[in-house]
Amino acid sequence: MISRKIKSQKDYITLIDELIEHDRHYYKEAKPIISDYDYDQLIKELQTFEKENPTLVHPNSPSLRVGEALTKGFKHFSHITPMMSLANTYSEDELKDFIKRISKLLEKEDVKFCSELKMDGIAISIRYEKGHLTQALTRGNGKTGDDVTLNIKTIKTLPLKLHGNEKKIPELLEVRGEVFIHKNIFKKLNEKREIDGLDVFANPRNAAAGSLKLLDPKE
């Protein structure tokens, strides 16, 4: 486990620089050098310091950002609705605090939750107009995303046209989900890359990110 105890503003700035570097490896190069858990612990430490020292929050702090930076080579478009990121936790106490906050917000003690598996991939927003797929955007910075429409169309299980009663198909439909790669396919992909003398992907999530951010969809 990686830990950085922030004892001064200098330590705080050093941690920001370190996290920015980790973001570059993770989002732009798809080659993370620390685990998701270790990264989350560093972010949590950063947020704790900022909460205790709000006047010292630096404008470049990763805590002020949602998602990844926009990618050069792609067109950028605004989301119809901001595309926020999910919060996470590794602590039962934090989960209990979350439930308390929700109960207080809803003014209801008996709150029911629906849980599902979180696929580790790339968040995507797909737009259908009159039943036809017209645009696909990454989360980007939450307000604006990379246009990966041509790349997303290479996913054969994704419908390019919605079928059914045309009268019931909305004029505009925005679908949000996750682009991910199954582990068995990931293994075969890395084996082929190794044979071809290419760098292997660190994990399925980075393989999905790498394929989605190819400037040439034919690759």
167 is catalytic: no
Long-range contacts of 157-162 (CB under 8 A, 24+ apart): 158/126, 158/133, 159/133, 160/132, 160/133, 161/131, 161/132, 161/133, 162/128, 162/131, 162/132
Catalytic residue among 7, 118, 168, 218: 118
Task: Give 29's contacts (C-beta < 8 A, 6+ positions apart).
Answer: none
Question: How far is CA 132 from its chain centroid?
Answer: 25
Give the helix/strand (H/E) hosting 179.
strand 172-179
d(Cα 181, Cα 196) in Å, to the nearest integer?
20
3-class SS at 178?
A: strand
User: What are the CA-CA distances from residue 148 to residues 15, 46, 96, 97, 98 (Å)?
Assistant: 32, 32, 38, 38, 34
Query: Positive or negative CA dihedral for 36, 38, 43, 48?
Result: positive
Which of 65, 57, 53 lies closest to 20 in space, CA to CA? 65
- Token output for 138: 């990454």
Which amino acids are annotated catalytic? 118
